[in-house]
């Protein structure tokens, strides 16, 4: 049941472009530096529909969020979802 709800949120996020965030510290991401206080915008739709990660993001498949045993949620997949939309 939980996988169905989370997959629905991934498949069709409520806000594809959530409100901007502000960097609380200097952040280094690969070769880029985001200075403290910078406004950060992100596109949840693009993250949740990235075919290089999800394979077939246009298909609604709750089982994609389950572990190999198909009985529990896979924490690695949940990291990709819960990393967005939190913070201040």
- Write the pLDDT tens digit of every residue in 5-24: 999 988 988 877 888 889 99
What pLDDT, on the 0 to 100 scale, is given for residue 79?
79
CB 2 within 8 A of CB 34: no
Residues of the chain with pLDDT under 50: 86-88
How buried is residue 49: exposed, middle or buried, by Cβ count under 10 Å (0-12/13-18/19+)? Answer: middle
What pLDDT, on the 0 to 100 scale, is given for residue 84?
53
What pLDDT, on the 0 to 100 scale, is given for residue 82?
66
Whose CA is closest to 24, among 88, 84, 79, 77? 88
Whose CA is closest to 78, among 15, 14, 3, 21? 3
Place of tokens 């069709």: 12
CB 13 within 8 A of CB 48: yes
Question: How far apart are alpha carbons 17 and 15 in whole angstroms?
Answer: 5
Q: In the chain, where are the structural domains located?
A: 2-82
Mean confidence (pLDDT) of the chain: 86
């Amino acid at each position: 049941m939980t996988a169905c709800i989370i997959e629905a949120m991934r498949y069709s996020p409520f806000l594809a472009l959530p409100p901007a965030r502000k960097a609380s510290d200097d952040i280094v991401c690969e070769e880029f530096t985001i200075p403290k206080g910078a406004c950060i915008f992100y596109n949840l739709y693009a993250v949740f529909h990235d075919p290089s990660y999800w394979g077939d993001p246009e298909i609604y498949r709750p089982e994609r969020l389950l572990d190999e045993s198909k009985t529990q949620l896979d924490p690695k997949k949940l990291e990709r979802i819960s990393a967005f939309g939190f913070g201040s």
